[in-house]
Amino acid sequence: MNYTFSGFSKAGNAVVRGAIAAAQDMGHTYVGTEHLLLALVRDDTGEAAAFLLERQVYGYQVGRLLREQVGCGRRTRLSPRDFTPALSKCVDCAVIEAKAVSDGKVEPVHLLAALLEAPATAGRILVQLGVEPAAAAKECGRRMGKFPLFQQTPRPVTSPRGAARAAEKYGKDLTSLAEQDKLDPVLGRDSELLRMEQILVRRRKNNPCLVGEPGVGKTAVVEGLARRIAAGQVPPQLRGKRILSLDITSLVAGTKYRGDFEERFKNVLLDVQRAGDVILFIDEVHAIVGAGAAEGGIDACGILKPLLARGDIQLIGATTRVEYRRHIEKDAALARRFGAVEVEEPGQETAVEILQGLAPRYAAHHGVEIAPEAVRAAVTLSARYLPERFLPDKALDLLDEACSAVRIEAAERPGGPEKPAVTAAHIAAVVSRQSGVPAEKLTAAQTATLAAMEQTLSGRVVGQPDAVRAVAGALQRARLGLASTARPMGAFLFLGPTGVGKTALARALADCCFGSEKALLRFDMSEYMEKHTVARLLGAPPGYVGYGEGGQLTEAVRRRPYSVVLLDEIEKAHPDVANILLQIMEDGALTDSEGRRVDFTHTLVILTSNLGAKHLAGQRAALGFGTGAPGEGARAEVMREVREHFSPELLGRLDEVLVFGPLAQEDLVAIGETLLRELEARAAQQGIRLAHTPAAARLLVREAYEPSSGARSLRRAITRRVEQCLAQQLLGGVENGAAADFLLDAPQDVLSLARRCGTAANAAQGGVRGGGEADAPEQNAAAPAPDTVQACNL
């Protein structure tokens, strides 16, 4: 039967099948190394056979010795399952040998090299024929040009660089890449490079470990050292060295059986030792802890520690602070073999220099021109709107993505410049996609926006000029850098009865400051009344259900750092919530259950409460409308209740405590006008024209106002009386394709909704009484004439 072996060349398959055939012809019940030797000799066209023939090893001699030593029998049927352990190991080593020194296909010469290293019975036959297996193995390795990966005994090498070939299979030579100018230049890291050089030339424990946050440039520092070595700009002890970046994942891949990884890793390290000029670099060095460890086996860390302790090899590691504490510091024996090199996040000016040095390479890659203001915008905007990431990585990502977007856009518009320009506007567009802040907000002049903030907020929130003025002033101070940068942009307590604009002002702030009402993160504090629910804000502690999912508050702010945090009805929350608020308002940050620091310095924190609302309700005028601003007596009563409920520490950390008074009649009319315009806009989207008169808005306000619910009663009245009647009119009297044109009016102080008809067709009438039930159509209603108005009372 013709067996085909995966990963073998045609000639390699033929040799293994020849070994099986030889064993079958001799009547043997197994296939061993001696049969493989016979098959190699008989393959007289291959390099392996030529090598054996040079040493006067002939097929008839091997066959004769086999028959004499093992004997012959009746022909048998054999398969690869009948391989002896020695032959199985020989075949496995040939596979690895082929992957290490060629394109991965097993040729007869690889089988011969593996056979000479562990000859078993074949070795005794070769000795009888006058061939020493060890010497033959050395000559075979020399002819192959590369030494085999798995070796039983150390062998001398002719070139130090040749000894690290196995290690190069699992990594890349950074020094060689630097010599070919394939590594990016490294700027602003002179102190870290000097510290690395000092550690590397030490007599003992000369293994630096770069520790820093993700994206600060740890790997780039190692590449910078490789560039210095290639240029000869290092101390004499480091000249001629090579930095080999080792990939732990590649080492582990394909190791199916216990001992495979250990053997592979040890031989890689043996190659590095022989080379003598290699410095290993392992990115994410914490991965060596536990890597490749099978049950009862040893991991990469256990293999490395003795070599590092004796100074047999030099290693550069790089990892984050979290992983360093979690994996390396816990293993004191491993930690003391490294010299930690702290890699801090560069400042904005240093980051600009780094990007200016790299910009030509990005421009050449994308075929664009990068404007100087785009480089600075990438740094400033990423620092402001992407605080959860670190420079220079986040700025480089913005620049790279902006270049790709400009290149794609230019390709879709032929006839443009050969090299389109990347400007600050393109950077802002990328930041907008990642942060959710509209691009026009990013590029708008800050001074003009801040100056118009009070006017903008007043257009959204009516009847509370004092509150709007105080909030706008606090934000202006924060944005202009006059307020502390270690606290939130603003922290406010909004007090007052329901329906007076507290939540509306928070929503307006989200839109005005951060470009969208989606930036409002609202938390109903009635959900945090019990002590055990407070942990949900920061995340469940270890051992509890939900650990690892993040806190509701911290996770929301971490994902959207530029936002308005609204803690609604704060008086209902458990007192322990105040401790969390103290930390936010004092330090501008929280640490969640997983140890991550969440930045609140770009948020607005707003607390709302109904405490003392009964004192404000006493200000209602005779017609049921407030004065628009709380009196001093009412305000004093409200503040007395607030001081009784909240601690002085919390109140002292607030920027403002704002009391929202009941709304005046003019304010409610303005709100009614706004709500009716919103209804008209929604109707227009459905192809319906709706208009209203000022008299209708005033009548709605007068009839709908309820002191206990403020403006919310007005919204309910519009829903119940106008929207419902409009729906009845549409369902009962408008045919498909007919004109739908309505007018809301209040003739003679009676609210009515009239459909203005352009045809003589009858129009259905309907109305809503105070309870919301539709009136039956009048039985004797005459059809209106063209261009007349048919009305129904509401």
Per-block mean pLDDT, blocks of 10 residues, the chain (794 long)? 75 86 87 86 77 80 82 83 84 77 74 77 81 76 50 35 55 84 85 89 86 88 89 84 83 71 77 80 80 56 77 86 82 82 88 89 89 89 81 90 89 79 88 72 61 79 82 80 75 84 86 81 88 82 68 85 87 86 85 81 87 64 45 76 85 85 75 80 80 78 68 76 77 57 74 61 34 36 38 54
CA distance 221 to 345: 12
**Sheet hosting strand 689-692, strand order edge to edge:** 689-692, 741-745, 752-757, 788-793
Is residue 594 domain-shared with residue 690, that is, in the same domain?
no
Structural contact between residues 117 and 151, judged by C-beta atoms closer than 8 angstroms: yes
CA distance 738 to 724: 20
CB atoms within 10 A of CB 99: 18
- 278: amino acid identity, one letter: V
Is residue 609 domain-shared with residue 670, that is, in the same domain?
no
CA distance 794 to 781: 17
CA distance 772 to 776: 13
- Helix, strand, coil share (%) of the chain residues, nearest 5: 55, 10, 35
3-state SS, one letter per residue, for 45-59 = CCHHHHHHHHCCCCH
User: Residue 478: inside a domain, yes or no?
Assistant: no
Containing H/E element for 521? strand 520-524
CA-angle at 750, arms to 747 and 755, nearest 5°: 65
User: Residue 98: inside a domain, yes or no?
Assistant: yes
What are the angstrom distances between the C-alpha of 407 and each of 417, 421, 766? 11, 9, 60
Half-sphere exposure of 541 (CA within 13 A, CB side): 4
User: Residue 449: inside a domain, yes or no?
Assistant: no
Task: Please state the domain count of the chain.
Answer: 5
Hey, what are 54's tokens? 């040079």
User: Residue 476: inside a domain, yes or no?
Assistant: no
Is residue 18 domain-shared with residue 129, that is, in the same domain?
yes
Is residue 146 domain-shared with residue 286, that is, in the same domain?
no
Enumerate residues 6+ apart whose C-beta is below 8 A from 320: 211, 212, 213, 214
Hey, what are 312's tokens? 């047999």
Q: What is the pLDDT of residue 709?
A: 64
Domain boundary among 389, 417, 444: 444
Is residue 549 domain-shared with residue 432, that is, in the same domain?
no
Is residue 581 classed as helix, strand or coil in its secondary structure? helix
Hey, what are 710's tokens? 């403020």
CA distance 406 to 368: 8
Is residue 686 domain-shared with residue 782, that is, in the same domain?
yes
CATH number of 757's domain: 1.10.8.60
Model pTM score? 0.57
- What values do phi and psi take at 607, rounded to 5? -105, 135
User: Residue 453: inside a domain, yes or no?
Assistant: no
Hey, what are 124's tokens? 């005794």
* Of 544, 536, 454, 460, nearest in space to 502 by CA: 460
Is residue 196 domain-shared with residue 254, that is, in the same domain?
yes
Domain boundary among 444, 461, 491: 444
Residue with the two structure tokens 């393109």: 426
Which residues are paired to 757 by β-bridges? Answer: 788
- What values do phi and psi take at 783, rounded to 5? -70, 135
Which residues are paired to 171 by β-bridges? Answer: 246
Is residue 222 domain-shared with residue 268, that is, in the same domain?
yes
| CB-count burial class (<10 Å; 0-12, 13-18, 19+) for 295 | exposed
Is residue 575 domain-shared with residue 679, that is, in the same domain?
no
Enumerate residues 6+ apart whose C-beta is below 8 A from 330: none
Using omega within 30 degrees of 0 as the cis cutoff, is the peptide bond preceding 392 cis? yes
Q: What is the pLDDT of residue 147?
A: 37
Which residues are paired to 563 by β-bridges? Answer: 603
CATH number of 213's domain: 3.40.50.300
Q: What is the pLDDT of residue 156?
A: 34
Residue with the two structure tokens 């001992």: 259
For residue 680, give its domain range.
665-793
Residue with the two structure tokens 């129904």: 792
CATH number of 68's domain: 1.10.1780.10
- 117: amino acid identity, one letter: E
Hey, what are 131's tokens? 């061939």
Q: What is the pLDDT of residue 616?
A: 67
What are the angstrom distances between the C-alpha of 768 and each of 274, 721, 776? 95, 6, 10
- 555: amino acid identity, one letter: E
Hey, what are 689's tokens? 């024209």
CA distance 247 to 570: 53
Domain boundary among 593, 626, 659: 659
Using omega within 30 degrees of 0 as the cis cutoff, is the peptide bond preceding 156 cis? no
Helix residue ranges per DSSP H, 331-485: 332-335, 348-366, 372-385, 393-412, 424-435, 439-443, 446-451, 453-460, 465-479
User: Residue 414: inside a domain, yes or no?
Assistant: yes
CA distance 398 to 377: 9
**Sheet hosting strand 490-495, strand order edge to edge:** 520-524, 563-568, 603-609, 490-495, 656-659
DSSP secondary structure of 275-339 = HSSEEEEEESGGGGTTTT--TT---HHHHHHHHHHHTSSEEEEEE-HHHIIIIITT-HHHHTTSE
Is residue 608 classed as helix, strand or coil in its secondary structure? strand
Is residue 551 classed as helix, strand or coil in its secondary structure? coil
Structural contact between residues 179 and 170, judged by C-beta atoms closer than 8 angstroms: no
> What is the biggest distance separating any 2 CA atoms in the chain, rounded to whole angstroms?
128
Is residue 603 domain-shared with residue 750, that is, in the same domain?
no
CB atoms within 10 A of CB 162: 14
| CB-count burial class (<10 Å; 0-12, 13-18, 19+) for 626 | buried
Is residue 520 domain-shared with residue 653, that is, in the same domain?
yes
Give Cα 651 to chain centroid, integer Å. Answer: 37
Structural contact between residues 8 and 106, judged by C-beta atoms closer than 8 angstroms: yes
User: Residue 456: inside a domain, yes or no?
Assistant: no
Is residue 325 domain-shared with residue 414, that is, in the same domain?
no
User: Residue 458: inside a domain, yes or no?
Assistant: no
| CB-count burial class (<10 Å; 0-12, 13-18, 19+) for 734 | middle
